[in-house]
């Protein structure tokens, strides 16, 4: 994959949760549009066309995005601990069917901030829960300008536009990243849905639409200031590395090729 790198001179901050439990900012936040489990009759969820059932969370607020029958992706610096219980919801209704599984292990992907976690080998997550493919395209510039769906604390969903690629080193991890700004100018793709990651979002997913469904583009890593923006580890860059970890568990990672 051809890489497009630039110098991103910013102040970086890990997305650790704060005492105030700050949430991802969405420019014109409205629960009816941006909260996945909103229960009012005026619900108009921005992600209503897509399946977010494969996004799990544990009681400690750490994230698990399902990529095979019993393996998931999260971040090295903030992931579900071994023994933690991760819950997935089969729909966008909080009181609807949900499934909880216990984390039995995990492994870091190279020097990155990506962490592959897993449940017991004998466990297969319920078939109603989505397994997300990873889009692998021949050149990085094909991804530039993609409309992104960013999932964050309190099951908020915002959108953004993929602005740039870079190589980043922070907190002992080094990896290729995607960066998307928070400037109010991402029109018409993001508009009032424009998102900026907050404390506690680390390990959560960013998606884009391929083959009319969600594909995993990034795992949240850090936020930036001057300029304001968000940083994810670029998952497609590490498709082969993740696949090797999954193969050791008797699992496989799926590719997605076509844009919506």
Mean pLDDT in order along the chain per 10 residues (260 residues): 44 49 87 98 98 96 97 97 98 97 97 97 95 91 94 97 93 94 93 94 96 96 91 96 96 77
The full 3-state SS of the chain, as one line of letters, equals CECCCCCCCCEEEECCCCCCCCCCEECCCCHHHHECCCCCCCCCCCCCCCCCCCEEEECCCCEEEECCCCEEEEECCCCCCCCCEEEEECCCCCCCCEEEEEEEEEEECCCCCEEEEEECCCCCCCCCCCCCCEECCCEHHHCCCCEEEEEEHHHEEEEEECCEEEEEEECCEEEEEEEEECCCCCCCCCHHHEEECCCCCCCCEEEEEECCEEEEEEEEEEEEECCCEEEEEEHHHHHHHHHHHHHCCCCCCCEECCEC
* pTM of the predicted model over 0.75: yes
User: How far is it, in rounded angstroms, from Cα 116 to Cα 108?
Assistant: 6
Domains 11-33+133-237 and 50-131+239-256 share a fold: yes
CATH assignment of 11-33+133-237? Answer: 2.40.10.10
User: How far is it, in rounded angstroms, from Cα 124 to Cα 56?
Assistant: 14
Q: What is the pLDDT of residue 140?
A: 78
Q: What is the pLDDT of residue 3?
A: 44
b or e along 160-195 (b: 16 or more beta carbons within 10 Å of the residue's beta carbon)? bbbbbbbebebeebebbbbbbbbeeebeeebebbbb
Q: What is the pLDDT of residue 18?
A: 42
User: How far is it, in rounded angstroms, from Cα 203 to Cα 72?
Assistant: 11
User: How far is it, in rounded angstroms, from Cα 105 to Cα 117?
Assistant: 6
Q: What is the pLDDT of residue 226?
A: 83
For the chain, the structural domain boundaries read 11-33+133-237, 50-131+239-256
Selection from 21, 10, 36 nearest residue 151 by Cα: 36
Q: Enumerate residues 6+ apart whose C-beta is below 8 A from 116.
A: 71, 72, 73, 106, 107, 109, 242, 245, 246
Place of tokens 């200031």: 225
Give the Cβ contact number of residue 254 at 10 Å. 13
Q: What is the pLDDT of residue 257?
A: 66
Q: What is the pLDDT of residue 20?
A: 39
Among the four given CATH numbers 3.30.70.1710, 2.40.10.10, 3.30.540.10, 1.25.40.80, the one describing domain 50-131+239-256: 2.40.10.10
């Amino acid at each position: 994959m051809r890489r497009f790198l630039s110098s991103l001179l910013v102040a970086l901050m890990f997305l650790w949760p704060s005492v105030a439990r700050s949430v991802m900012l969405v420019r014109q936040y409205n629960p009816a549009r941006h909260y996945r489990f909103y229960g009012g009759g005026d619900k108009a969820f921005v992600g209503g066309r897509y399946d977010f059932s494969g996004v799990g969370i544990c009681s400690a607020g750490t994230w698990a995005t399902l990529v095979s029958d019993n393996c998931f992706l999260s971040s090295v610096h903030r992931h579900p601990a071994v023994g933690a219980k991760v819950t997935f919801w089969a729909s966008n209704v909080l009181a609807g069917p949900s499934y909880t599984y216990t984390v039995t292990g995990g492994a870091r992907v190279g020097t990155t901030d990506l962490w592959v976690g897993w449940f017991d080998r004998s466990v297969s997550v319920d078939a109603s829960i989505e397994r997300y493919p990873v889009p692998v395209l021949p050149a990085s510039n094909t991804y530039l300008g993609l409309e992104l769906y960013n999932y964050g604390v309190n099951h908020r969903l915002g959108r953004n536009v993929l602005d740039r690629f870079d190589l980043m080193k922070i907190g002992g991890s080094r990896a290729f990243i995607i960066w998307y700004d928070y400037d109010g100018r991402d029109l018409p793709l993001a508009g009032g849905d424009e998102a900026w990651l907050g404390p506690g979002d680390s390990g959560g997913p960013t998606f884009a639409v391929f083959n009319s469904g969600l594909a995993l583009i990034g795992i949240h890593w850090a936020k930036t200031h001057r300029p304001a923006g968000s940083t994810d580890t670029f998952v497609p860059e590490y498709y082969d590395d993740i696949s090797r970890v999954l193969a050791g568990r008797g699992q496989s990672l799926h590719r997605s090729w076509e844009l919506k």
